[in-house]
Amino acid sequence: MSGQIIGYRRVSSEGQNLDRQLDGLQLDHVFEEKISGKDANRPELQRMVEYARKGDTVVVHSLDRLGRSLLDLRKIVADLNGKGVAVRFIKEGMEFDAGSTDPFKALMLNMLGSFAEFERSLIKSRQAEGIKLAKQKGVYKGRSKCLKPEQAEEAKARVASGVPKSRVAKDLGVTRQTLYKYLEGVKA
Residue positions annotated with a catalytic role = 12
Contacts of 12 (CB under 8 A, 6+ apart): 34, 35, 36, 37
Helix and strand totals (H; E) in the chain: 7, 5
Overall residue count recorded for the chain in this entry: 188
Residue 89 forms beta bridges with which residues?
60, 94
**Nearest in space to 92 (alpha carbons), one of 120, 118, 64, 54:** 64
> How far is the C-alpha of 185 from the C-alpha of 188, rounded, in Å?
9
